[in-house]
Structure 1
Amino acid sequence: MARNRPTVADLRALKGKRQLSKLRVTTLEEAEAAERAGIDLLSLTYALMLDPRFRDAAPTCFAVPGDEYGMMGATSSEILRTAVKLRAASADAVYCSASLKTIRRLRDEHIPVCGHVGLIPTHSTWTGGFRAVGKTAETAALVWKQVKDLEDAGAFAAEIEVVPAEVAAAISKRTSLVLISMGAGAGCDAQYLFAEDVLGLNRGHTPRHAKVYRNLAVEYDRIQQERIAAFREYAGDIASGAYPATSHMVGIDAGELRRFEEFLSGQA
């Protein structure tokens, strides 16, 4: 049965009823695969969101573009301008880890915002680097405050990253936000992974919460070796004269060629 693209109201109505799925995708191919696989939510780059082919690839996925590093240092006006442009390109919401003042400004323009709590990569220096947040009563209370602040600012959802599952579940029961778990357990409203981890394309550190379902890195390595081999054969054919062959060139009638050569002979 065909599905419709969900609205913010739809996602709120599903809170506590079923787990949603979310992926970070960076290519049209990944977006199309997510659509065909029935993934509910997509995080994506601004460039992909602004690509006019995106909605052909993923017509029913709820799209939340977010280039968090692109927002750092930007003013509220610049972020608002970007958000309006993204919404015009059919974004369903925008990810924003900027100030509460900025989130309120987006809300006042009726732009749905997904915030971030717990381990916020761009703010991690304040919580001790890339490590779990909420393992003590005091830091769990900090995550709770982050959630309540986002509620008050008008966000409709928040990623909750690397927070103990029990803490995240307790908070999820007590907030109206759609909580999207990245390493925060199954007690939230959605689960979020990066496509590169799911596909086995991540060649660096694999996060604890990531689960690898395929090993496409091996396929990409094989394809790269085939690419190198093809390029090497091409260079070899040029060196040996095997390329270009007669079949690769445009011919000319012998009489026409003779006339052209006679023309050239008359040139100074």
Structure 2
Amino acid sequence: MSLYHTRPHVEDIRKMKKRGEKISMLYVTSHDEAAAAAAAGIHMLSIEGRFFDAAMREAAGNCFVQVGLPYGPHGPAGRRLVTADDYLRAAYDFGALGADCFYCAASYDIQKVLCDNHVAVVGHIGLVPSYITWTGWRAVGKTSDEALRLWEQTKRLEAIGVFAAELEVVPDRIAKFLSENSSLIMLGMGAGKYADAQYLFTEDVCRYGKNHKPRHAKTYRDLGPELERLQQERIAAFRDFRADVEAGDYPEPAHEVTIKDAEFETFLQAARG
């Protein structure tokens, strides 16, 4: 991958925060979603490692791409990420494909290893899905003690060298304090209007997700009915194809390659030889 491109770098994202510019961010899972985000001028994309490849990077255009490095078999080639070396190797592999930064909610030790090796790391503060057994599915930071822990986590991430953090489902005033008092780029999801970035899932923005729609999600287009109609049309086309195959109606002469009679006779004589 060439180092010379028109995509933003970490320093560009930091400058946006300093200038008070709001950053738009979407979670995408397909090439079509990534291409649509790029065409719309979305600043940042979040893409899980299992969905990220060279074609996805190409589709993302000039978007700044965060690739997720979660626990489990979601590294390059399905490799399981457990140790710091596993994470570092995965980051290098995805970086070679064009990833701009890496989401990592593993231990502080693992995140520090990535940062010490000059990898741009995004941590996580607030409601962290991989830690859900400790908090449950709820807002985090609604008590003074819990909010203080979020601030302590922020300072620790900053000290490690993490450059940004997903700030998920925390009170708006806590998000404002964290955003204004830390150099971290706060990527807000359900964290109110004061976060540095506003981060949503494409399936919520376009309303075709099958999962529960969280309170902070906003639907801008309802593509669900149209996608369902297309799926039914796809099923109907597949059924018609199967029926044609079973009835002998496909392929028709127009779909076949012919051979001249003389050439065929010559072939038969040689083959039967």
Note whether the superposition's TM-score is higher than 0.5: yes
State the alpha-carbon separation in 2 of the partners of residues 6 and 252 from structure 1.
57
Larger radius of gyration: 1
**Most deviating of 58-67 and 161-170:** 58-67
Partner of residue 54, structure 1: 56
State the alpha-carbon separation in 1 of the partners of residues 69 and 114 from structure 2.
16
Q: Compute the RMSD of aligned alpha carbons.
A: 2.1
The reply to whether residue 15 of structure 1 matches residue 22 of structure 2 is: no
Partner of residue 106, structure 1: 114
Partner of residue 92, structure 1: 100
Partner of residue 77, structure 2: none
State the alpha-carbon separation in 1 of the partners of residues 152 and 34 from structure 2.
34
The reply to whether residue 117 of structure 1 matches residue 125 of structure 2 is: yes
Structure 2 CA distance for partners of 1:38 and 1:259, relative to 1, 3 Å? closer
Maintained 8 Å contact 1:28/1:48: no
Maintained 8 Å contact 1:200/1:217: yes
SS in 1 for 2:46: strand
State the alpha-carbon separation in 2 of the partners of residues 110 and 204 from structure 1.
36
The one of 245, 252, 257 aligned to 1:250: 257
The one of 23, 26, 29 aligned to 1:26: 29
Maintained 8 Å contact 2:207/2:221: yes
Consecutive unaligned residues in structure 2, runs of 5 or more: 75-79
What TM-score results when the alignment is normalised by the length of structure 1?
A: 0.90
Deviations 1:190-244 (A, max 9, x none): 0001111111121221111111112222122111111121122222223333222
How far did residue 257 of structure 1 move?
4.4
For residue 48 of structure 2, what is the amino acid of its counterpart? T
**Most deviating of 254-263 and 205-214:** 254-263
The reply to whether residue 228 of structure 1 matches residue 231 of structure 2 is: no
SS in 2 for 1:15: helix
State the alpha-carbon separation in 2 of the partners of residues 231 and 241 from structure 1.
15
| Matched residue count | 262
The reply to whether residue 180 of structure 1 matches residue 183 of structure 2 is: no
Deviations 1:93-149 (A, max 9, x none): 11110111111111111111110000000012122x111101111111111111111
Consecutive unaligned residues in structure 1, runs of 5 or more: none
Partner of residue 209, structure 1: 216
Q: Share of identical aligned residues, percent?
A: 45
SS in 2 for 1:53: helix
